[in-house]
Structures are given as C-alpha cells and as structure tokens.
Structure 1
Amino acid sequence: MATDDAEEIAAGTCPTASGMPMLGLGTWQNTDPDQCAESIETALEMGYRHIDTAQAYDNEEAVGEGIAAADVPREDVFLATKVSTSNLASEDVLETAHESADRLGVETIDLLYVHWPKGSYDAEDTLSAFDELYDKGLIENVGVSNFEPRHIEEAMDILDAPVFANQVELHPLLPQEHIREACENYDVEVVAYSPIARGEVFDVEELREIAANHDTSEAAVALAWAREKGVTTIPKATGRDHIADNWESLSIDLDSDEVNMIDSIDRINREVDPDDAPWN
C-alpha cells in the first residue's frame, strides 16, 4: 500500500479509485428513527463519509436527518440507496427515486442501486429509467446489487451510464472470487454487505488468532481483509462502540501471510440466500 493511501486510511478518507470511501455505515434493520439518525450523526462526526440505505429499510428519512444533524458538509458525504424490487418498473423507478431523494433531504443521490435483479426487474425497462435519472442529474452513479456476472454484462450492454458498483454479500466466509474477478474485468467497484457475516466471523479461529496479534476484533480483521482485496465495506452498526470498532479497521494492515491465512479458511457460509436469488 502506498504511503499516501496509508495516510488517507488512517485519516478515514481513503477512497477507491472512483472516489467512493472504502468504509461506510450500513443501516439495514436500523429502523428506530431516533437511533438511526443518531447512528448516522455519530458515524459522520467520527470520520465516516459513506452512508448506505435502501427504500426497503424504511429509514431514509431518519438517515437524512442524521446527515443534516452532523457537522459535516453534505458534499463530503457519499450517500447510497437502493430501489426496492417492487419498484423496478420504469415509471416506479422514476417516481420512487425522487421520493427517496425527498426523504433523504438531498438534491442528488450519489449512488442508486437496483436492489435485486428480481421482482419487477426487467433489464431494458428498469435500466432505461436509471439512465434517465443519471442524465437528469438526480443520481451521480448507477449501481446494481446481488448481480451475478451475467446480469452485470447485460446491464452494461443496456445502460448508457457506466455501472459503478455491484453490492453483494462478501466476507471471509463468502469471498466471492468470481464476482470480484468479473467486476475487476468490467471496471466495476465491489461493495460488501454483511462484511462480518452477521457476527459469524467471531467464531472463526483464523480471524481470532489474527485479531489477537493486532489487539483488535475479528470484525475489524474481516473488514481489513476486504479492504486488502479492494472491496468497499458497509458494516451495519448502531451503537457508538460498534461504529468505533469498525472504524478501527482502517488502521489495520494485514501482512501477506495473514491475508493468505484468511483466504485459506475452509468454510463457506452465505447469510442471505432467498430461493429466488439469481445464484439459485
């Protein structure tokens, strides 16, 4: 890692080549409005600059309140949300994207994802609306989520706008090599949800050993491993302690032996696996 990058990571501002901060705050299940707004404000004032939500999380208004309350300029915050599977018909995309922006209290959404390639998703119909939102400036970037390589290829063929990122479940127990390889070839960022496998990383001996060596948590090691792979992470956290623990991962540098140890974990565990998922 270059010295400049290391300094940026230590300051919490290290972005990917595309400018997206590599550590964000996930907000799934953070549905208590006051708690959600407080979590956002806490994270931003701690140094986070990437916030991730979704229409389906039912907390966009609280997320917007947290952003407004924080002593951080809006232009410094990378804000992402997702269009629900029930809203992926073209007219619904256009209508609900504006509604999301209104709830979030912003004029522009930095990254808008297709949440899943299912439900009312039709590639031609859905993505034409994303192109329109991009052209009109309501969204800065088009993203996809839970897409397999074939879905990304299809989206790239249809969209005029570039596919900016693919958000997938990814962690040491689900390293998603084929997704990472495809996205590297397509010049698409990879964003990891559930990057600590919903707590399963705490029961992995290899992560426990590395965490002890660094005097940190297994979760922080998992986040540092993902960063070494060039993957942006958006761990969910509500309380200050968990938000701070995830933040600590930015200061952890894993050596090649530690990365190889994590890569060799002989255990696969997918936390999000609906029957109609695109990989089933």
Structure 2
Amino acid sequence: MTNFRGVLNNPDPLNKVLFALRDIGRTVSIFFSSHETTIYSLEKAGVRAVAKFHPQELFSSFQLIDCPGGVLAVEASCQDLLVVLQSSLHSRRSCTIQLQWQGHQLLMHFTIQKDSLVSANGAERLRTVTHSVPVYFWDAERCLAFASSLPEPYPEISFEREDLAVMKQTIDKLARLDRYVELSLRESGCLYLASRNHHVMVQVIFNIKNQAYAEDIPQHQEYSLTLDARDLQRVFSSTYVNPHKLVFGSWPCCRHLPPYSLLPILLRTFD
C-alpha cells in the first residue's frame, strides 16, 4: 500500500477507510514541505498508506476540489487553502494537514510552520498559523474518483527482504540521515521507524489477521520505544537474525517487547 490509488486494490479500499474514519474518529494526515516530498498517510487499525508528490502536483490536486460539480463539496474558505499551498511553493515553509470526521462532516485542519524562529517571552519558537477548512465528501464513489484523480507518486525505494546486506545498507542510511522507514509485517502488523538526530522512534502496531497468532498477541496492540540508530545497525548486521522471521525478544535493545515471531517484511525508505 504505497498510495491512495494502491489502497483501492487492497482489502481496505479508500472508501472503507474514509467511512471507518468517520465511525471511529481517527485522523488522516497529509505531510509536505515546499522543497522536499509530500507524504500522504492513512491510519486505520494499523493500516498505513504512504505516497510522495511534488508540492506543485499537490496544489494541482487541490484545485480539483473547488471545481463546480467536482468530487468534493467545500466551503469558499478552501480558496484560502489554495493560496497558502501556492505560497508555500515559493517559500521555506512546511505544512501539516489533518482530516477528521465530525459526524458526516470531514474537517480539514492545516498548520503552516515557517522555518524562521521568533522570540516569545525570552524563548525561541517556530511561528505557526492554523486554519480549519470544512470538507464534505458526497459519497464513496466520489471519494474514489477524487483518489484516482491524484497524480502518480514519485518512485520510492522498495526492497523485498532477500538478504541482510540490503537491509543493513538501508539502516546505515537511516543512521546518517533524518529519514522515515516503514516496516510492514505481512499478516501481522506494522512497524514504523522515524529517524530524528540519529535516534529512532519505533512503533509496532499489531493488526492480527493470521488466527495462529490471535491467541498470543492482542489485536491492535501498540508498542513504542526509542532506539539509537546504531543499535539497529547491530541488529541487522547480526548473523543470527533471519529477515523472514524476526523475533523481537532476540533484539538486545528490544527485550522488553513480547518475543513474538514476525512474518516476512517489506522495508521502504523515502529519499
């Protein structure tokens, strides 16, 4: 699941995810910055779909929202969002957009962060501007139409886990750069890594579909911890680690996690 269009071909198509979000009040987040990449993220019971776009392509996609008779009905304030998005293409700004259901209404909240610091009460902080834009999805069919209208994402680095060498190279890159890595544990769950200043936040979300594991692992159970990237380097360079059957209990830095064997993984990094 690497983009909205890809979600349509999976057991949880976009319309089901959207309406599930409406029912359980979860949040969809869209992250982008003006000079890097755009990552769309859907989260629902451990399912995450990520895609990358150039900001200009994102802006073109949002232009579709405000077209008369388009796939979405929006308030006039959506024009404000378009102006902000367009200005972010020419300035050093980043933006976080969150979509959240409130009843049958899907609210869009977006926060713009400037790179420049301002002083407030003797402390420096990022200057932020927050807007809220109400968005209404008409029905599932038009939700799908909107998803299919998005441009194809940029190619991503994607590796099947055939050997530890490639895995270790990816972790080595993660240790040097601030990058995001997602480990999708098929039939088991999702392990998400975010590297910040050589420290790695690890979040493990178990969404059990294989009944053989159902008695041992609570469904939708979440664990999180912070690791040093060098610890991960040692893990993936260890000769005893089988990439197709990782056991958390065997990781020196993860001993307090349950020692469950995890199924084959797919690792993605975003350049």
Asked if these proteins are the same fold (TM beyond 0.5), I'd say no
Q: TM-score, length-normalised on structure 2?
A: 0.31
Q: Select the structure that is richer in helix.
A: 1
Q: Select the structure that is richer in strand.
A: 2
Q: TM-score, length-normalised on structure 1?
A: 0.30
**Higher Cα radius of gyration:** 2
Higher RCO (C-alpha 8 Å, min separation 6): 1
